[in-house]
Structure 1
Amino acid sequence: MNYQWLIDRVDAYIVDHSRTVIILFLVATMAFVGGLGNIETESGQQQFVEELPSFQALERVQQDFDRSFSQVNTTTTLVQSDQNVLSKPALLDMLRTQERIAESDPLRAEDTESPARRIARTLDPDATTLDAQIRAVERSTPGDIDAAVRRAATGDDRGTFRSRLSTDFNRRSASASAMEATVTHRAGPGAGSDGGPGGASEFPPNKEERAKRLVDATATTSTIRVQGTPPDTTTTTLTVVLPIALALIVLMLAVAYRDLVDLLIGLAGIVMTLIWTFGFIGFVGIPFAVLLIAVPPILIAVGIDFGIHAINRYREERVAGRGVEESMRLTTDQVSVAFFIVMGTSAIGFLSNVVSAFPPTRDFGVTAAAGIVFTFLIFGVFVPATKVSVDRLRERYPIPTITQTPFGSESSPLGRILAGGVTVAERAPALFVICVLLTTAGAGVYATGVDTGFSPDDFQPAAETPEYLQVLPEPIRPPAEFEYVKIDDFREENFEQEDRLLLYVEGPMREDTALERLHRAGRNPPPTFVREGRYADSQSIATLTRTRARTDPDVRRVVERNDRDDDGIPDDDLSEVYAAMEESTGEDDLSGFLSEDRRSALVVYTVDGDEPNDVITVDAYRVASNLEYEAQPTGNAVIFDEALALVLETVLQSLALTLLGAALFLVVVYWIVEGRPSLGVANVVPILVTVVALVASMRAFGISFNAINGTILAIAVGLGIDYSVHVVHRFVDEYAERDLSPALRRTVVGTGGALTGSMLTTVFGVGVLALALNPAVGVFGVLIALSVLYAYLTSILVLPSILVLWARYVDGVRERNTDMGDTRIDGR
């Protein structure tokens, strides 16, 4: 297929109409700037699990059984610690703090709840306001309070009282070292579904700081801390990483280009690429999630590679004595095809992530693929056109030129190092390739032991930031500690946070046998479920009815009248039972376990939090299968286990699609461009070595696949092909004019110099993500840097021997080269 006409037309625009090209690209850049203001951010693990059936069931639970979730509001958690938070002074501290917060108009407190309020209501059932509850505690003796604590714990039908106390709660001594309270805030006028002008997490404004001031002014005998919203590690990470990455990139580019003007051209191309990419996601509505932090380093890496190759190849022609126009035409003739191949294979690698079960991963794939296309256009057209215009000005005006020599030559120390792979290829290519393949096979077996993981810790920074980050300048210095994380760690250590499993049941709850079915599902429960005799420890409308019947004579009469088998669970005329329950007074009501339309119910089981999530999940589905209604287990254990199962599936699917798509693309392209489809296969071999080495390194370093770094293999393929394509394509051009060994040596030394500059800039620029406050992003940056390093090494060391074998056994080099003298590759 003759494609040269298309390249010639692009060459004509670049060389003959360079100023027009520059103006058009600058206009397009201004248009994309308009999309930057539309970008929204997302953080946390919810974005990764929001499409799982178990998470959707949790959302339905919140909508159907907790009215506060149907309103637009936010919450703040108060964590109290003391020698005994159930003592009279500590209870008064908490109640007075809650009263001050409730009376603060800016905080728009809609409701506050805590064990302290429950104890006060136990002391005085008529004390419904915080002021009345404070008086109830003030006039009670310590003995009265201890007795109220024991009564509150005994009547804790839904487990809400005990769950808000630390695990060292002792009912007999009425003592606990920590207590939790919750404040619910109303959204402002016109807030909409986002909860406020700045989003639900930010409204009311400065709620955490306001609450802290009230706490500090009120609590006198105990410590009360305020836990607001999770820290925005996305913005903080960008603030820390981008300036450092930019400084390193500029430094490495200065070494690679060694010319200020060329450096500025390359930087302009990178800035334009980022503006186009993020303007694009603003226009199409893709939110900026934590995974997209990796997109700028990836695009910078590819842009640097393209820029260095274009400038380096152009300089080679200029050093040979050719003029500006001729040098650029020869350069674009060669690099345009290579850039197109890199763009196509990288885009395939990134787009393979659209099969992911995680929405942020799909968004990442689309964004990175679009960015790669933009990189191809900017560095394949705009940068060469700008270089032509600048060099024409240099011929007319005395613009300083530091150097125009290419990066790397045969006589330079770098050139001699790069030629090492060629020397091996000349002497024993087959033996070397066999050793590499055997090593790769062994590493592949080892790599199969890599773990997978998915937990909230993947998305949360450490409580204290590393000391080396505190030496950064004030504008980019992160907080010394994250109070939210410190409190969260304290809660995880002292409270039972993840020991409840929810069963969302859909069915006709007015049916006579509905409550009996809910109750029977917990009979003879699996080992991970906490038991009460023959049944699982649970809370549901069935257990609530039985408990209410013991304390309310009116409810008891209705239940007895409709309980045909006398087991305490009514099995007839449930509408009458529900009506009696609604008329009964008390803290609990039907809305906690039964939907308003009586079409769904909630069952809450207590499970052993020390058991693995996968075991709890299996047992949960076993219990759900005992119901004759449709039932979906949910809760942290189930959600994270199902997400974990999808991590490996996503990794394997994206890798398979990437390798298959990239291999087919390379075969077709080399068939069309060179008439040699086998070159596509040769191009893929180093990528396989890179992928295996990367996964083996993950296991060696104890790194697990998770929802964030699950895309790393597709990225490794996309970036790895970048390096090998440049070597293969340059080799084909050189091989058409020279014998095998000189062509290979000229390829590796010439292209290898550009690859070295690109590799160093990318490794240091992307590796700076290791400083990310989000641990998963930090690991992700390290893995990208490793994948680039491995891709570079395989392209420089392994690929030459593969090309020699390709030329010898596939392309018939023995017939073409019967006498190569001292440079013959067979060593004779």
Structure 2
Amino acid sequence: MCALTVTLGSGILFVGGGVEITTFAVESDERAAADQLSESFDTGEQQITQVVITSDQNDTASTAALEETLTLQQAIRDDETINGTLDGPQPTVGVANGVAVASDPRIAFAEEITIADKASALDGRTDEQTAAALSVALRDDEMTPEGQPPVSALLPENYAHGEEPASAQLLIVVHDEDATDDELLDAQQQIESLADDRLERTDSFVFGEALLFERGGQATAESFAVVGPLIVLVVLTMLVVAYRDPLDVLLASVGIGVVLVWLAGILGWLGRPFNQLLIAVPCLLVGLGIDYYLHVVMRYRETRGDDPSFRPAAAMSIALAGVLVAIGTTTVTTAAGFLTGLVSPIEILREFGLVASLGIVSAFVVFGYLIPALRVEIDELLHQRERQSDRAPPTVGSLGIVARPLDQCARLVARAPLAVLVLAFLFTVGGAMGATAVDTSTERSDFFPEERSGWMEQLPAEIRPDAYGLREQATFLEETFPRHTDRTVEVWIEGDVTDDSVTQALQAAETNASAMDTTGTPVDGGGPVESPLGTIEDVAAENETVAELVDEHDTTGDGVPDEDLATVFDAVYEADRDAAAATINRTDGGAYEAVRLSVVVDESADDSAIRSDAVAITDAVETHPELTAVVTGEPILDDVQERAVLETVLLTFLLALAVIGALLTVVFRSRHRSWLLGAITVAPVVAAIAWLIGTMAALSLPYNAETALITAIAVGLGTDYTVHLTERFLAERERAGLRDALEVTLRETGGAVLASAITTAVGFGLLALTLVPSLQRFGIVTAIVVAYAFLASVLVLPSLLVVWDRTRRK
């Protein structure tokens, strides 16, 4: 075992530091189409960094403030780290740029407008003159470079010029699309440093995707650096209460440590980073490990307490014989349940299922073999054969504070099992009905860290998490400024795109796209549809050769070419390659294999409604037998993700239940000659999940990819609880009456389950102290479902067992 630990643990060397924030990319036709569009067309999408400039006292649009932003722009362009990532001759744009051109229109006609030219235009101007120039810039979009947002999009949406000072403004830095994530991160960090140095009259923060992911991972790691020791302290306290033996506390801690080392090593050998979802796996394994060892050690104490003459090895053999089947069954069924996640189209969820399964098997090996063996060796070494008579009560269930409520549960179940089942059924149905009201959306800002809590301010600086406030920054940015980019649906169209009748299908697609209820108005005020036909029309309007060629190949007189499209496409590429490359894909060999259609959609439209509307576009395209079309774009991919999460949850839940139910049925049939015990053991788990869904609906908690993992955890822990209780009840029922069997089962095994549930729930619940909202919600909801799983195990399961037992003996 030591060799295995060293071998697996050495994989830690291949695990990167920190927590990686991973997106929930879904493998789908829509995702593949998005990738193909990105590779095949010059869509004009740009990677940007936003510098948000704010002030509670000064006007951010004053002459002095604008001059500072120009100084910052020059520093950004001059910096070696940033410059290599910048795109085009005008990679930065701010309010000052437009105001400068409005102040001195002559510089707009210069071949190359420099920051120095713009600074000269503002030099010496009064705030009143600058305000007048700003008024012009707000009315005239020509004051900003082509393809970049107008001045009006760089000021607050509710800004009333001339009536109040500008409390904020945006400075946009445009990066080359080929810049790597690492290069962007370095550039954004450097921009942040330059902004702190150059902007003296105003405050600022930098908002960029690379920086967001980096800070999100840092915040998560720093949160765990603070909350982790607190979780460890609480778990150790719970272990002391549960075991009441320093040796068992030590062994449990060692076992947990070994399991976590194995887990980290497995991640390293698999070459997988530690992401935000895998944070749940250590918490799950700690809960299972504590539960496994609680059952082993409590049964070991019972055995030695019943007959002190047993040597440790013999007592442990008897104890393991009593619980190893239950632990093994739990391990197999739970691991199999998590492995059903491999059917998910979401890679990060498949990864979670695999890693969790390997971790569960590791917990079984460590707490079913290694730790019991260590306990026996230590007891034999110390000659502690009479140890039990000199110590506290041997089991958790012997504590009055635990025994009394569990005995009450036993009496209630024995007297009125049907009443308990009816109430549980009503709550289950009510909870399941809540599924229709649960929000399934995923808010990106949920992964951004919040401002640190007040209690964290009292921590020593060495361990105090940084004040990131990314969630507040994202909210401010979204609520303050108008959107300066369009929300679009993209259509990937491939096949014989030069066939003469293709234009008819494209015209029909354009017509349907324009008529969609969810179609919106572009930021620049132009038409909502961008297509190959629109590109041909625009280029023809500027180029006589193309115009003549279009007329020549237009047999219907509607201004649209409908024959020899390859020749027309060639001419368009020759006249304006950039415009053509945006909607018409030409291979290196000169062939045309795909075209692109883009539709601006309403900012407030629901993703599912957009996707439903877009079907009309693909239907129109596919009336041509040689064409296929796939709709993609941000709203489509978001909808695909939400649906994939729901489908994954439903499918994996059903598969997990089917696999677990089948395995338990086989085990209980072979051991106890009953076909019903498998279903009886699984039923409380279903009830607990239904109660959870109802609670989430009542509390308006979203059921997304993060919280969907709680279903898997509920299945894993719930099955563990019910298998142990069922096995113990059946064993006790063979030698005692129904009520005595119930009382012993709930007091002894139920006591161990209670200790495990409290430890797990508290451990997960402490995640609410982290800085990341998604982790806060994850911890709270998991604590709730663990509590529900326990209640279902000590109320619903015993009631079912009582009814089964009485029916069988009639």
Same fold (TM over 0.5): yes
State the AA in 1 paired with 2:4.
A
Map 1:458-477 to 2 at 5 A.
458-462=446-450, 464-477=451-464
Q: Check conservation: 1:96, 1:134, Cα contact below 8 A.
A: no
Return the offset for 1:217: 4.1
Q: Give the deviation of 1:428 after TM superposition.
A: 2.8
- Report if aligned partners of 1:75, 1:182 keep a CA contact under 8 Å in 2: yes
Aligned to 2:383: 395
Distance 1:110 1:292, change over 3 A: closer
Deviation string, structure 1 residues 102-123 (Cα, Å, up to 9, x no partner): 2212334342424456886994
Q: Counterpart amino acid of 1:124?
A: A
* Aligned counterparts of 2:533 and 2:147: Cα–Cα separation in 1: 12
Q: Given the superposition, is the C-alpha separation of residues 622 and 458 from structure 1 closer, same or farther in structure 2, using an over 3 Å criterion? A: farther
Does structure 2 retain, via aligned residues, the 8 Å contact 1:227–1:484?
A: no
Looking at structure 2, the residues matched to 162 and 51 of structure 1 have their Cα atoms a distance apart, in angstroms, of 39
Aligned pairs for 1:618-629 (under 5 A) are: 618-627=612-621, 628=624, 629=627
Task: Please report how far the alpha carbon of residue 263 of structure 1 lies from its aligned counterpart in structure 2 after TM superposition.
Answer: 0.6
Pick which of 487-496 and 291-300 moved more: 487-496
1:562-596 Cα distance to aligned partner (Å, 9 max, x none)? 6666766566666666666666689x644344434
Report whether the alignment pairs 1:481 with 2:481. Answer: no
Equivalences for residues 97-112 of structure 1 within 5 A: 97-112=72-87
Q: What is residue 296 of structure 1 aligned with on the other side?
A: 282
**Aligned-partner Cα distance in 2 for 1:158–1:561:** 33
Query: Which amino acid is 2:789 matched to?
Result: A
Q: Matched residue of 2:27: which SS?
A: coil
C-alpha distance 564-433 of structure 1, shift in aligned 2 (>3 A): closer
Structure 2 residue 678 is matched with structure 1 residue 665:
no
Q: Displacement of 1:460 after TM fit?
A: 2.8
Instruction: State percent identity of aligned pairs.
Output: 28
Q: Specify the alignment match of 2:50 in structure 1.
A: 77
| Distance in 1 between residues matched to 2:92 and 2:526, nearest whole Å | 29
> Residue 605 of structure 1: SS of its match in structure 2?
strand
Does the 8 A contact of 1:124 with 1:133 survive in 2?
Answer: no
Q: Which residue of 2 aligns with 1:528?
A: 518
Amino acid at match of 2:276: V
Question: What is the DSSP-based 3-state SS (H/G/I as helix, E as strand, rest coil) of the residue aligned with 2:442?
Answer: coil
Aligned-partner Cα distance in 1 for 2:649–2:82:
45
Task: Give 3-state SS (helix, strand or coil) of 1:232's partner.
Answer: helix
Cα 1:761–1:403, aligned 2, differ >3 Å: closer, same or farther?
farther
Q: Report the 3-state secondary structure (helix = DSSP H, G, I; strand = E; otherwise coil) of the residue aligned with 2:23.
A: helix
Corresponding position of 1:714: 712
Q: Give the alignment of 1:271-282 within 5 angstroms.
A: 271-282=257-268
**Match of 2:332, SS?**
helix
1:592 and 1:624 map into 2 onto residues whose CA distance is 19
Instruction: State the partner residue of 2:35.
Output: 59
Q: Superposed, which structure 2 residues align to 1:279-428 within 5 Å?
A: 279-320=265-306, 321=308, 322-395=310-383, 403=391, 405-409=393-397, 412-428=400-416
Conservation of the 8 A alpha-carbon contact between 1:716 and 1:788: yes
For residues 160-206 of structure 1, the C-alpha deviation after alignment (integer angstroms, 9 at most, x for no partner) is 55896457499999x9964441242798xxxxxxx7xxxx4343674
- Pair 1:665–1:594, CA change in 2 (3 A): same
- The alpha carbon displacement at 1:522 in A equals 2.6
Q: Is 1:49 matched up with 2:36?
A: no
Instruction: Provide structure 1 residue ranges, at least 5 long, that are not aligned to the other structure.
Output: 1-24, 188-194, 815-828
Structure 2 distance, partners of 1:758, 1:33, is: 26
Q: How does 1:444-593 map to 2 (within 5 A)?
A: 444-462=432-450, 464-483=451-470, 486-487=473-474, 489-491=476-478, 493-496=480-483, 499-507=487-495, 518=506, 521-523=509-511, 524-530=514-520, 537-550=528-541, 589-593=579-583
Aligned to 1:215: 195
2:784 is the alignment partner of 1:786: yes
Using the size of structure 1 for normalisation, the TM-score is 0.82
Equivalent residue number for residue 20 of structure 1: none
Q: Distance in 2 between matches of 1:513 and 1:163?
A: 43
Q: 1:695 aligns with which of 672, 680, 693?
A: 693
SS of residue in 1 equivalent to 2:610: helix
Equivalent residue for 1:604, pick from 598, 605, 609: 598
- Measured after TM superposition, the shift of residue 560 of structure 1 is 6.2
Distance 1:593 1:720 in 2: 54
Residue by residue, what CA displacement relative to the aligned partner does 1:98-152 show, whole Å, maximum 9, x if unpaired?
A: 3322221233434242445688699435433635754785699978887677664
Give the distance between the partners of 1:271 and 1:136, measured in 2 at CA.
65
Q: Which amino acid aligns with 1:364?
A: F
Q: CA deviation at 1:66?
A: 3.9
Alpha carbons 2:305, 2:388 under 8 Å: kept: no
Give, in angstroms, the shift of residue 305 of structure 1: 0.4
TM-score normalised according to structure 2 size: 0.84
Counterparts of 1:804 and 1:348, CA distance in 2: 29
Distance in 2 (alpha carbons) for counterparts of 1:122 and 1:281: 61
Deviations 1:473-521 (A, max 9, x none): 4444322333575156414541315633333333556566767765653
Task: Identify which of 8, 13, 21 aligns with 1:32.
Answer: 8
Do the aligned partners of 2:93 and 2:173 also contact (CA within 8 Å) in 1?
Answer: no
Cα pair 1:36 1:279 within 8 Å, conserved:
yes
- Contact between 2:30 and 2:632, CA under 8 Å: does it hold in 1? yes
Q: Distance in 1 between matches of 2:549 and 2:143?
A: 24
Which of 603, 609, 619 in structure 2 is aligned with 1:615?
609
Mark the CA change 1:483 to 1:408 in structure 2 (over 3 Å): closer, same or farther. Answer: closer
Aligned to 1:21: none
CA contact (8 A) 1:95 1:130 kept: no
User: Quick one: distance in 2 between partners of 1:728 and 1:324?
Assistant: 27
Other structure's SS at 1:283 match = helix
One-letter amino acid of the counterpart of residue 663, structure 1:
G
Q: 2: distance between equivalents of 1:492 and 1:42?
A: 31
Tell me the secondary structure at the aligned position of residue 510 of structure 2: coil
Moved more, 112-121 or 225-234: 112-121
Matched positions, count: 770
1:805 corresponds to which residue? 803
SS at match of 1:203: helix
Contact 2:768 2:779 in 1 (8 A): yes
Once residues 512 and 78 of structure 1 are traced to their aligned partners in structure 2, the CA distance between those partners, rounded to angstroms, is 49
Distance change (3 Å), C-alpha of 1:148 and 1:697: closer
CA RMSD for the aligned pairs?
A: 4.0
Residue 228 of structure 2 corresponds to residue 267 of structure 1: no
Per-residue Cα deviation, 1:729-757 (whole angstroms, up to 9, x for no partner): 11222222223332222222111221121
> 8 Å contact 1:164–1:180 — kept in the other structure?
no
- 1:733 — aligned with what? 731
Please state whether the residue corresponding to 1:503 is helix, strand or coil. Answer: strand
Q: Once the 2 structures are TM-superposed, how far is the Cα of residue 762 of structure 1 from its aligned partner?
A: 0.8
Instruction: Confirm or deny: 8 A CA contact 1:122 1:152 kept in the other structure.
Output: no
Instruction: Give how far 1:666 is off.
Output: 0.7
Sort the Cα spacing of 1:323 and 1:42 in 2 relative to 1 into closer, same or farther, 3 A: closer
Whether contact under 8 Å (1:349, 1:718) holds in the other structure is yes
Q: 1:318 corresponds to which letter in structure 2?
A: R
Query: What letter matches 2:2 in structure 1?
Result: L
